[in-house]
Chains A and B, each alone.
Chain A
Amino acid sequence: MPKIDEYAPAAGRGAIEELKLVASRLKGKTILNVNSTAVGGGVAEILSRMLPMMTELGIKPRWELIKGGEDFYAVTKKFHNALHGTRQELTAADFQLYRDTLKTNLETLDLDADIALIHDPQPAGLIDKKPAGAKWVWRCHIDLSNRQDDVWEFLRGYVARYDAAVISAPAFSQELPIKQFQVPPSIDPLADKNRELTPAEVSDIMRRLEIPLDKPLITQVSRFDRLKDPLGVIEAFKKIQPYVTARLLIVGGSADDDPEGSQVLAEVRAAAEGTPDIMVLCLPPTSNIEINAIQRASEIILQKSLKEGFGLTVSEALWKGKPVIAGAVGGIPLQITHKYSGILTRTVEGTAYWMKRLLHEPAYARKMGENGREHVRENFLLTRHLRDYLLLALYLESGGQDFIHL
C-alpha cells in the first residue's frame, strides 16, 4: 500500500499536511468500520486503502464484517434494490431474518471503539449494542432519493438511533432526527485505474488491445446496461459522423454472467454493425490499467447515463484531464460544473452537439479537462475522503459545535 506522502503529488502537499494535522488530534483513537464484505465492491475497495493510511497517521482502525447465510444476503440484496428505487416484495419473514441474523452477529462481533462507521443497511441493526460513550455513524453509500417506503421505515428505526448519518449527495438525505453530513466517495489516484502512465505505456496497451489511434477517440467506459445508454451514445455519434473525423469506442465488461448485459451487448453490436468507426470492446473485470490507458488515449470521454448513483467513473475520467460529457443525473452534477469542468447533457442531440463542439474547439476542451482534473484533486480524492471522516469524528467528539479550533 502506498504511504501517505506518496499522495502529495496528486493531492497537493498542503492537503497531506492538513490530513496529518487533523489526524494528530485523533491519535490513539479507535475507529471501527463494519460492512458486509472484505473484497469486491466499492466500500471494501475504499476501506482496504484507507485503513492503512489511518494506521500510518496514528489512529487505530478496526474492520469487522457482518456474517450471514445466503438467505440473509438475498434479503439485504432486496433491501439494497428497494432503497435504490427498484420495487421489491419483502415479507415479515424477511424482516425477521434480518433481525435474527443481526442478533447472532451482536453475540460475536467486537464493537469496542471510540468511533464506529457502520456501512450500508446490512450491519445497521448493530446499533442495538452500541457501547456507552462511543460515537456511531451510519454511512450510507446508496442513493435513497427513490427509496421504497416499507424498507426505509424498517431501517429508519435503526438509523434514527445513530449519532449521525453520512450520505454521498444532498439529494440522498432523508427526514431523520439526527444530523446528516455529506461526504462524497472518492477515487484513489495511485490505484492502477488512475495512476499516471507514460505515453509509452499507453501506446503499448493500445497496441495490445488493437485500438488504432489514427483518429481522435471518443470513449464511453461502462457496463452494458440500458441505464448507461450505450445505444444513445451510438446514435449521437452517428449524428456527427458526416462532420467529424473520429472513432467511437464503447468499452464494457464481458457480461457473461449477466443475461440483461448480454442482451444489451448484442444490441450495441447490432447498432454498431456496418460502421467501421465504432468499436465495441469487452474487457475482463481486472482490466484496470487497460481502462486507465484507454481513457488517457481518448480525446473525449462520455458517461451518458440516464440514471446513476454517484457516478464516480466521471471523476476517474476527469482525473485524466479529459473533457467529459455526461448525463446530468445522480451525483454527476456534483462532479461537473457545466461548461467549466465538463459538459452536462440530457439528450442524444445535446450529446452529439457537444461532441462536435469539443472536437472542433480543442483549446476549450483542454481547458475544461484541466479544470475537471483540479476539481477532482480538490474534492474527490481518497485523501479528502479520509479527512472528512476524521473531521466528522472530531465534530462528534467535540459535542457537535459549529466552530472547532484544533
Chain B
Amino acid sequence: METKAREPFRFCTRLTLTEVTGRRAFNVDELLEGIKAADDAVIYHHTHRFLKQYHHLVPEGANDFAYWVSNTLQDDRLGEELNSIDIVQYNSLADIRAAFVGMLERSLAGNPGAPRAVAPGREFHFMRAIRFSVPTDCVAGGYAEFLECLRRVDVSSLYLHVFEARLRPPYGVDDFSNWFRLNFGDEALGAEISRLDPYSYTLEGLRQRIIKVIERRLAEVEHA
C-alpha cells in the first residue's frame, strides 16, 4: 500500500455570512410556501447552520424547520417527522428541499382546516448562507499527518469536508473517504468513514469518531 499521497490533502474551512431574506412564516402553510420558493442558499442555511452553530449540543434538532415546528409552533408530530428527514441520504440541496416540501404537503393534506399560527415575534425567518471556503495551512501527505491535522483544525473544517462535500461531485461522498480511496486505494477506510452518519453526531463527537477509525487503520497499515 502507498504511504505517501499523490495529491496532499489540504484542509479548508467553511465560513458563512447570514443574509436575512425578509421572508417570514407564521404557520405551516407559509413555511411550505417559503421552502418551495427557497433557493439552495436558503435550504443550506436551515439544514446545516444548526450543525455548526449548536455543534456542542447533543445531536438534537437537525434542522431549523423541525426545531421551529416542534418548539415554537408546538406541533410535536410534524416536528418529529421533519426532524427525521435523513439529510445524509440526499445528494443535493434540491433533493433535500423536495423532501421537506413532500413531508409538509402530506401533513397539510392529512390535517385540513386553518393551520395553527404563532404570535408576531415568534415567526420563522428565512435566511440565506453566503459561503466562503478558506484554505488552512494544514496539509497532509499520509495517514499520520492527516490525523495530526484532523486533531488541529477547527470544526468548521469538518463541516466543509464531511457535510458539504456530499452535496457536490462526487455526490454523496465525503472528502476524507474520497482522498483515502484515491490516494491509497484504501477502500476499507473509505467505507468505514463513509458509513458514519455525520448528522447524528456533534461535530466534536464526529471528529473523535473519525480520529479513532483512522488511528485503528493506521495501526493495521503499519503492521501490514
Interface residues of A (CB under 8 A from B): 12-15, 17-18, 21-22, 145, 167, 170-171, 173-176, 179-183, 329, 337-338, 340-341, 371, 374-375, 378-379, 387-388, 391-392, 394-395, 401-406
8 A Cβ contacts from B191-221 to A: none
Q: Is B56 an interface residue (CB 8 A)?
A: yes
In the complex, what residues of A have CB within 8 A of residue B153's CB? 14
Query: CB distance A340 to B22 under 8 Å?
Result: no
In the complex, what residues of B have CB within 8 A of residue A391's CB? 15-17, 130, 132
In the complex, what residues of B have CB within 8 A of residue A175's CB? 22
Query: CB distance B60 to A173 under 8 Å?
Result: no
In the complex, what residues of A have CB within 8 A of residue B19's CB? 179-182
Interface residues of B (CB under 8 A from A): 13, 15-20, 22, 41, 52-58, 60-61, 71, 121, 123, 125, 127-128, 130-137, 153-157
Partner of A403, one of B22, B127, B131, B134: B131
Query: CB distance A15 to B134 under 8 Å?
Result: no
A14 to B127, CA, bound (A): 26
Min CB gap A183→B, angstroms: 8
Partner of A340, one of B18, B57, B125, B157: B57
Query: CB distance B18 to A182 under 8 Å?
Result: yes
Q: Which residue of A lies closest to B138 (CB)?
A: A17
Q: Which residue of B lies closest to A387 (CB)?
A: B15
Query: CB distance A167 to B131 under 8 Å?
Result: no
A406 in contact with B135 given A171-B121, A173-B22 (CB within 8 Å)? yes
In the complex, what residues of A have CB within 8 A of residue B121's CB? 145, 171, 329
Min CB gap B86→A, angstroms: 22
Query: CB distance A22 to B41 under 8 Å?
Result: no
Partner of A378, one of B41, B56, B137: B56
Partner of A402, one of B15, B41, B54, B137: B41
Query: CB distance A14 to B156 under 8 Å?
Result: yes
A170 in contact with B15 given A21-B134, A391-B132, A406-B134 (CB within 8 Å)? no
In the complex, what residues of A have CB within 8 A of residue B17's CB? 181, 388, 391-392, 395
Min CB gap B211→A, angstroms: 16
A15 in contact with B56 given A173-B22, A179-B19, A391-B17 (CB within 8 Å)? no
A343 to B15, CA, bound (A): 29
Query: CB distance A180 to B154 under 8 Å?
Result: no
A401 to B129, CA, bound (A): 11
Partner of A21, one of B58, B127, B136: B136
In the complex, what residues of A have CB within 8 A of residue B55's CB? 378
Q: Which 6 A-B pairs have the closest CB atoms?
A: A14-B154, A170-B125, A374-B56, A182-B18, A391-B17, A173-B20
